Amino acid sequence: KNEVEQSPQNLTAQEGEFITINCSYSVGISALHWLQQHPGGGIVSLFMLSSGKKKHGRLIATINIQEKHSSLHITASHPRDSAVYICAVQKTSYDKVIFGPGTSLSVIP
Amino acid sequence: EPEVTQTPSHQVTQMGQEVILRCVPISNHLYFYWYRQILGQKVEFLVSFYNNEISEKSEIFDDQFSVERPDGSNFTLKIRSTKLEDSAMYFCASQTSNQPQHFGDGTRLSIL
């Protein structure tokens, strides 16, 4: 069984739409990460969460520790947001990162 | 902002040959990792390294794989005798306390 699940697997949105990507995990964690991977392959950290909510520009990430669930929201989506968004967890501070399968987002002008 | 750098960006190697993938972690980081991503699949953990020794390795990291920190800056992944199924994107990462892991841009390894 995968320790990190994401939905949806693929998402197509019109420019300007509000987007939500969901993540659920089945293990105890010290941190949850949202990462972005562009077609070139590089991985960029967007958020690291252990509780509550974080906001950076048009991106918002929330986590519910009791429900083992996190969401990534993108407001006023733009074609440059098109990428794969990956939810990942760490069980302890310096542990390996356990990756989810990713959500492929395409924002159409 | 400091970056993790990986070289080469693309490596093409004949099956059975040895390959060394190189990484320069962020200078004050103490924890180092290798991951791989087979095309179309999720990123998988290979190995973590701290204080000049392996702290954890996955089932993928068999006797054909080794890691080394030969000097104060480089962190290398060696595959002794490459197989077709080793074709993947390999990512190096480094971490310091209570911060996210920083990932390099990856080395795309193609085994012919």
Hey, what are B33's tokens?
Answer: 């990792």
A93 with B93: Cβ contact below 8 A: no
Cβ-based contacts under 8 A for chains A and B: 56
Q: Which residues of B touch A (CB under 8 A)?
A: 31, 33, 35, 37, 42-45, 48, 50, 55-56, 58, 89, 91, 93, 95, 97-106, 108
Q: Would you state the pLDDT for residue B70?
A: 84
Q: Would you state the pLDDT for residue B98?
A: 77
Q: Would you state the pLDDT for residue A41?
A: 78
Q: Are the C-beta atoms of residues A90 and A96 closer than 8 Å to each other?
A: yes
Q: Would you state the pLDDT for residue B97?
A: 79
At A101, is the pLDDT very low, low, confident or very high (cuts 50, 70, 90)? Answer: very high
How far is the alpha carbon of A78 from chain B, nearest alpha carbon, in Å?
23
Q: Would you state the pLDDT for residue A95?
A: 93
Which residues neighbour A96 within 8 Å (Cβ) at sequence distance 6 or greater?
Answer: A90, B33, B45, B48, B56, B58
CA atoms within 13 A on the CB side of B39: 8
pLDDT tens-digit series, residues A2-37: 899 999 999 999 999 999 999 999 999 999 999 999
- Shortest CA distance to A10 belongs to which of A107, A76, A109? A107
pLDDT over 90 (residue B42): yes
Mean pLDDT, residues B63-74: 91
Mean pLDDT, residues B47-72: 93
How far is the alpha carbon of B69 from chain A, nearest alpha carbon, in Å?
18
B77 C-beta neighbours (distance < 10 Å), count = 24
CA distance A15 to A60: 17
* B90: three-class secondary structure by DSSP: strand
CA atoms within 13 A on the CB side of B40: 0
Determine contact: A48 vs chain B, CB below 8 A: yes
Hey, what are B21's tokens?
Answer: 């993938």
A86 with B56: Cβ contact below 8 A: no
Closest alpha carbon within chain B to A92: B98
pLDDT tens-digit series, residues A70-98: 999 999 999 999 999 999 999 998 999 99
pLDDT over 90 (residue B86): yes
